[in-house]
A and B are shown apart, each in its own frame.
Chain A
Amino acid sequence: MKKWKSALIMLSIIILISTFLFFVPLDGIIKYLPILNSFYKNTTLEITTPNGKSTVKIDGKEYGETPTNIQNLIAGEYEIELSRTSAVEGYYKPHIFNVVLTKNSTSRINMEIGPDDSLHGVVLYYTQDLIGTKGKGKITLTTNSENAKIYTDDDFLKSAPVSNLDMNVGEYKMTVTAENYQDLKFQIVVREGYILNIKGYLLPNPVNFEIVPSDG
């Protein structure tokens, strides 16, 4: 009888601990503890907006103008709002990008902002990959255009979108092309144990109209 009681108590304790660990992941607490949170603050966020300056807001808080390099934000997901400054108020719409900052990594936004929804550039950030292969990292790439093609160092890689594609670690020159869109070129670094998330924004090509005479 006593043995059964003890076993039941032990089982209850295990279930209680497991339930606690399920709802309260240790990682989520540690990164907010003093001293220990310094291990989670080693993040960098670089934002550049070619051909213009933009004000930067991160989760509603202002962080000045581009180009900017923000360091030591706690690892996690952030909403970055870029509003291009212009003499004419309201000419450019504010744009919001969701970026994940991972400790010991650099995230980057390089975005040329045009009127309306015209964007040309790339958002890059790393997330941890716990099941990666040695000597390899992964990339996930999506674009705003249909039927885009991805080239690395001028060699065709795959058609977009790609998810968790294995690549050898190292630096690459990426080019994303799509019919009726301008090519997007940027550098990437593939790291072991990380997934590099790439969101590409391609600007549509300007349209030329040719007038053809009609007999009708």
Chain B
Amino acid sequence: MDNTNLTKIKGQTPISIIVHGGNYTSFLLAKTLLEQGSHVVIIDKYTNSSKQYFTDLKKTGKVSFIDFKGLKSFYEKIARIDYLYYMLGQKVEDNGHFDSKDFLAETDYLNSSLTAANKYKAKISLVTSMRLNRELANRVNNEVTGKTKPYSPLELQRYGENFAAEFVDKTKANLRIIRLGTLLGKRINNITDSILDKLFTDSTQKHQIEIEGEGLELHNLIHESDAIYGILKLTFTDDTKGEVISLCNRNDYSTLSLAYKLLELDVEARAIKFVEKQSTDTVLQDLYVPAPNAEQFGWKQNVSLEESIIEQIQAYYEKSDKKWDADKVNNIKKYKAQDNIATTSKTKLGRFVYNITAPFRKLGNPKDVISTLNYTTILRNITITSLSLLVIYFLIAPIIGITLGSALIYKDSKTLRDSLEELNFDKLQQSTSNISSNISRVENNLNRIYWVFKLTNGVNEYRNINQIVEGTGYAMDSAQDLVVGLRPLGEYIKDFEPAVGFGEEKQNSREYTEYLKAIDDNQYSVKEGIYKMSLAQNLIDSVDTKDIPKFLQEYVLQYKDLINDVNTTVKPLEKVTQFLPDLLGVNERKRYLILTQNEGEIRSTGGWISTYAIVAIEGGQIREMFVDDIYNGDGALKLQGVTHKTPNSMIRALADVPYTFSLVNWDPNLDNVMLSAEQFIYDLGKGNEIDGLITMDTLFLEKLLDKWEGIEVPGETELITSSNLYTKIFEMQTEFMPTSTRKSIFLTDLTNEILTKVLSSKLVDYRDIGDILEESLTEKHIQVTFKNSTAKSYTDSMGWDGNIDSKYQNTPVNIDWNWGANKANLYIKKNHTLDIDIKDENTIDYKYQIAIQNDSTSNEFPQGEYVNYVRVLLPSSANIMSIKGLKDNKYDVYNEYGYKVVGGWFNTPIKETSTLEISYRILRDESGLSFPLVKTDTHFDMDINIYKQPGSKKDAYNLSLKFPETWEIEESEGMTRIENNVNRRLELSSDQYFNLSWKR
């Protein structure tokens, strides 16, 4: 055989080398290896006896033969060794005598083989004879027999085992020593154990079995197939690395016991005869301790001793040309051939696939399948599978699902937050959709484990948790709808490029009509979103946190607050999306009037008007911006000879003062001011109509300047900041009469610059001034009203329009009008005191005091006497009992704006304090539905709405209410209760609301 072929062997074909392979045991081993697909290399002397084995093996598979002479060159050339079986035991048992040359040669072969195998990290098995090892041990332990002869089989074997052990220590080779028992089998013609050989020979050829001595020698036996199976199994198992193992049947047998067994088997011999032992080396006591049996490493004896003996007897009968009927021997179990001794050719994946396809291969033999069907096993397997699936579906999978879902929701919610900040709608839609889907999945999973809560009496916990999940689901569905609905608005905000700019900045004239129309079209999504959010809020708010596990309660409470806040935020969006497109000029151009008011000189709607501006918006883009001094307007109208009818109440207060554009804010209701101003604008030729009115005072401008850290104003050498603003204002306006034309170029230019800066910003930048805008709207430093009814209703509901609605009839409303041509309002302190005395369910007395302290130190502008025409608005049905403190005790009482108005001059000189007091009574019979005390079947309810005049500072307000002693108060949130009195001290920074309730 051409040995160079060994380099071309595929990687998946293992290479097994058997040294001393020319014997029966090695033949069986090689045959098995070949059947398993291995490539086998036999190394031995080429003799007549070994030749027969080689010829048989060639027919079986890929086998190579190497003589010992070519051993070393073979090891040099071979590309790979996977397994090495060194059959030393067979060698020493077959050859009874060795000389030194043989000994040395054998040690050399052993050394070369081990070195070569270890080089390729092969698995190595040194197979020795257990019989010789027992004999060696007994000799060593027995003083009489003493030492062994040099170059004897015993010594060779001992040397081989010691060498192998040292080799392992040095090189950590994957080597094990297998001590093989005496083989029995149907093709073994001569048992290597001479005693046993005589036993079997005698039993098959003589009438009696002769036993030398007492027959107490012990023998370790093994069937040939068990031996081969054992060698292979022990070699392949990594657990046997470095071990010495006894491969034999678990029990050892004495000569005598074996002889008895032979007699039982219907052999020729019929008796046992004991003869004197001829040899002198009798072992007095067998002290041999064998190495651990192969059973400890997973090997199992498959062939029973009886079967082995039967086969061996048959072999001996055949050897002596006699016939022996083995069937006569009953009740011997047939052994099964080892099919799968080793599966060296399959990889793990191959084995896996082989196992998976095993059922399909079996289908090729349906008869075998049917015959091996076990219905009990099938039923058991089906039951186990079904139960397992049920447990997984109803317990394990839901728990894993809820955990997985929660993790995914958490991850997506982070993405959601980022996308919201970036106004990335695609990501927003994706995130909300993902979260919504995952919540629905979590809900499904939660439903599947309802039975667990029911079993553990946790139905209430389940309901509450389910409510939270359901509510969150609604919240996410809402978010999805809101994203769809508000997307056009968001994109408008993101894409908006103003047409207004500073100086020569490039201006964009793009319109955004398509965005505005899309806002309109998507309203239903917004409505749906708000509906679902209110459902979510309702569900989550009604969760009873006491029924939630303690460690979650804090989070649930926080979550409730969050949902409430979100619901409050999104609720107005329905109305906003309804009117916003119209306000932004989706169908036609919209004009808005902006008035700048100076609250240092207070007027009805906030302050003295210095500047007016017209801003026109069409298609979402600013189309016009015109800013001018109000007195330019007055002047133009005066030149044209245009006059306007002065309101009667203004005539009462200011006599012949003409009703000019600068005094258009006489009426405290912004809606009325808008309608009046529209006429002025029309007369000025600035437009046929205005669609909305916005007022802003200098306090708001101051806040903006503070935020922006100043602004450049044409004509000013220094940056205008919040610190020098008022100084600049005062510079311009000295020594004027209230009716003087007080041109304020500075304020006009400032307003122009501020409006330009605001309107030229991208809408996204409004976030920076968002807080200022919100605060200013609440505190009435900015007011807005529109003609669009939905927008008007919205601003009214938010309290941004400054109108004195009927709800303020429950408390007196104070409107100041500074007519001193100074900024005395910056130097006064005002204190309101309102005492309400509920006499009975039909009678309420009010006593209202206003105390003004003028801290001006001189009459020099901007300080001075606070010349104030005050109007106090009372319920129209009020019965005035007393009025004290007005100048010369002169006052007017008339009906206007749905109120009874008390007007008069309430002046406060410098460094003095003035007090105004009005007392009045209201009766149920006279008030009708507007009587503040509402009577229901079970309660008395009273709303107290306190109006803050726009432009006024944070006046101190003391409210106290007295009620009958017999009444039991139930609700008085925000007020301090003492017996039958409730009171509250506050700073009137914005409109205030209190609700009181008594049990009847």
Contacts and interface: CB of A to CB of B under 8 A. Distances in A.
B543 to A, nearest CB: 11
A95 interface: yes
A216 B447 contact: no
Contact of B896 (A95, A98, A215): A215
A142 B447 CA distance: 25
A19 B542 CA distance: 32
Interface string B529-566: 00100110011001000000000000000000000000
A21 interface: yes
B441 A214 contact: no
B466 A23 contact: no
Interface residues of A, number: 28
B578 interface: yes
A158 B649 CA distance: 48
A140 interface: yes
B450 A130 contact: yes
Contacts of A209: none
Nearest to A216: B896
B445 A161 contact: no
A21 B390 CA distance: 13
Interface stretch (B396-404, B615-623, B957-965, B974-982): B396-404
Contact of B393 (A21, A23, A142, A213): A21
A95 B396 CA distance: 45
Contact of A22 (B441, B450, B531, B648): B441
A178 to B, nearest CB: 15
A60 interface: no
A103 to B, nearest CB: 16
A18 B534 contact: no
B405 interface: yes
A95 B524 CA distance: 7
A17 B397 contact: yes
Contact of A163 (B397, B447, B539): B539
A29 B905 CA distance: 81
Contacts of B466: 131
Given A18-B396, A216-B901, A131 B528 contact: no
A22 B405 contact: yes
A199 interface: yes
B445 A214 contact: no
B535 A142 contact: yes
A7 to B, nearest CB: 14
Contacts of A27: 444
Contacts of B649: 216
B447 to A, nearest CB: 5
B392 interface: yes
B648 A215 contact: yes
Contact of B401 (A22, A163, A199): A22
B397 A130 contact: no
B146 interface: no
B441 A131 contact: no
B410 interface: no
A117 B575 CA distance: 11
Interface in B503-541: 524, 528, 531, 534-535, 538-539
A208 to B, nearest CB: 14
A96 B459 CA distance: 38
A209 to B, nearest CB: 13
Contacts of A15: 400
A96 B649 CA distance: 51
Contact of A216 (B397, B463, B648): B648
A15 to B, nearest CB: 6
Contacts of A14: 392, 396-397, 400
Contacts of A162: 538
A182 interface: no
B404 A19 contact: yes
Interface string B876-918: 0000000000000000001111100100000000000000000
Contacts of A199: 531
Nearest to B541: A163
B947 interface: no
Nearest to B399: A18
B534 A216 contact: no
Contacts of A131: 447, 450, 459, 462-463, 466
Contacts of B397: 14, 17-18, 21-22
Given A142-B534, A199-B531, A214-B896, A18 B647 contact: no
B561 to A, nearest CB: 18
A211 B815 CA distance: 25
B484 to A, nearest CB: 11
A194 B524 CA distance: 26
Contacts of B524: 95-96
A162 B895 CA distance: 44
Given A25-B441, A142-B534, A212 B401 contact: no
Contacts of A161: 534-535, 538
Given A98-B528, A163-B538, A212 B463 contact: no
Given A98-B528, A142-B531, A161-B535, A22 B463 contact: no
Nearest to B895: A215
A164 interface: yes
A14 B393 CA distance: 10
Interface in A96-132: 96, 98, 117, 130-131
Interface in B435-458: 441, 444-445, 447, 450
A186 B972 CA distance: 38
B467 interface: yes
Contacts of B896: 214-216
Contacts of B894: 215-216
Contacts of A212: 895, 898
Given A14-B392, A131-B450, A216-B894, A22 B538 contact: no
Given A142-B531, A164-B539, A130 B441 contact: no
A131 B464 CA distance: 11
Interface string B390-431: 001100110011001100000000000000000000000000
A214 B896 CA distance: 5
A8 to B, nearest CB: 15
Interface in B594-648: 647-648
Nearest to A163: B538
A130 B446 CA distance: 11
Contacts of A117: 578
B575 to A, nearest CB: 11
Contacts of B450: 130-131
Interface string A22-43: 1101010000000000000000
B535 A18 contact: no
B8 to A, nearest CB: 36
Given A142-B535, A213-B895, 15 more contacts: A14-B396, A22-B397, A22-B400, A22-B401, A22-B404, A22-B441, A96-B524, A131-B447, A131-B459, A131-B466, A142-B531, A212-B898, A216-B648, A216-B895, A216-B896
20 contacts: A14-B392, A14-B397, A17-B392, A19-B404, A21-B393, A21-B401, A22-B405, A22-B445, A98-B528, A130-B450, A131-B447, A131-B450, A131-B459, A142-B531, A142-B534, A163-B538, A163-B539, A164-B467, A164-B539, A215-B648
Q: Which 8 A-B pairs have the closest CB atoms?
A: A216-B896, A215-B894, A18-B397, A18-B400, A163-B538, A216-B649, A22-B401, A96-B524
